[in-house]
Amino acid sequence: MNKYLKLVRDFHDAFSFPQATQGVNTRLSEMDIILRQALLMEEGALLLRAIKSGDMVKILTGMANLAYCALGAIAAQGAEVVDQPVSWRHDGSVISLMRLFSDKINHCASGNPDNYSEVYDVCAYLAGNFINADFDKAFQMIHDAKMSGAGKSAANTQDILKSTFFKAPDLSECLYE
């Protein structure tokens, strides 16, 4: 099992979110697909704002949170992450990043776990190859921050799935020089 998916499954267990048993693939309902799509779009919007600002720490935080969100949809289905090659070439324009993330998020409207895997794969790839950061450490720090909120209550349990529900850690130490 993908180590990041395991962390997300642990998060779901800690907050009692429903998820299918690992290896027992369960298709998301239409309402679950809509919820997951809304969450991905919110995380994607935060990431695009970070890209606009040019703040590498915020961009890394956005990528780690978007990956976490995509893995949540995979965990809910009991599926496994499918490692897929990422085809993106830095052309000197940040518009290409916007298109890449927007397209990958849009494909998730199908509810197919492979599409959520693509979002995760793009985030992990670009964290290391575009912003030159330690994705492993960043993801673990995001996870630890989320887990430290176990027992924290929300008016709407879906709010807990949003990255904005938890205080994001400072990921500056995850950036390579």
Position 72 scores a pLDDT of 94
**pLDDT band per the 50, 70, 90 thresholds, residue 43:** very high
Position 63 scores a pLDDT of 98
- Choice between 14 and 144, residue whose per-residue pLDDT is larger: 144
- Choice between 156 and 108, residue whose per-residue pLDDT is larger: 108
Check: CB of residue 61 under 8 Å from CB of residue 53.
no
Position 168 scores a pLDDT of 87
The per-residue pLDDT for range 45-100, each reduced to its tens digit, is 999 999 999 999 999 999 999 999 999 999 999 999 999 888 877 777 889 999 99
Check: CB of residue 78 under 8 Å from CB of residue 25.
yes
Task: Give the separation between CA 134 and CA 137, rounded to whole angstroms.
Answer: 6
| Distance (Å) of CA 86 to CA 51, 79, 106, 129, 139 | 19, 20, 16, 11, 19
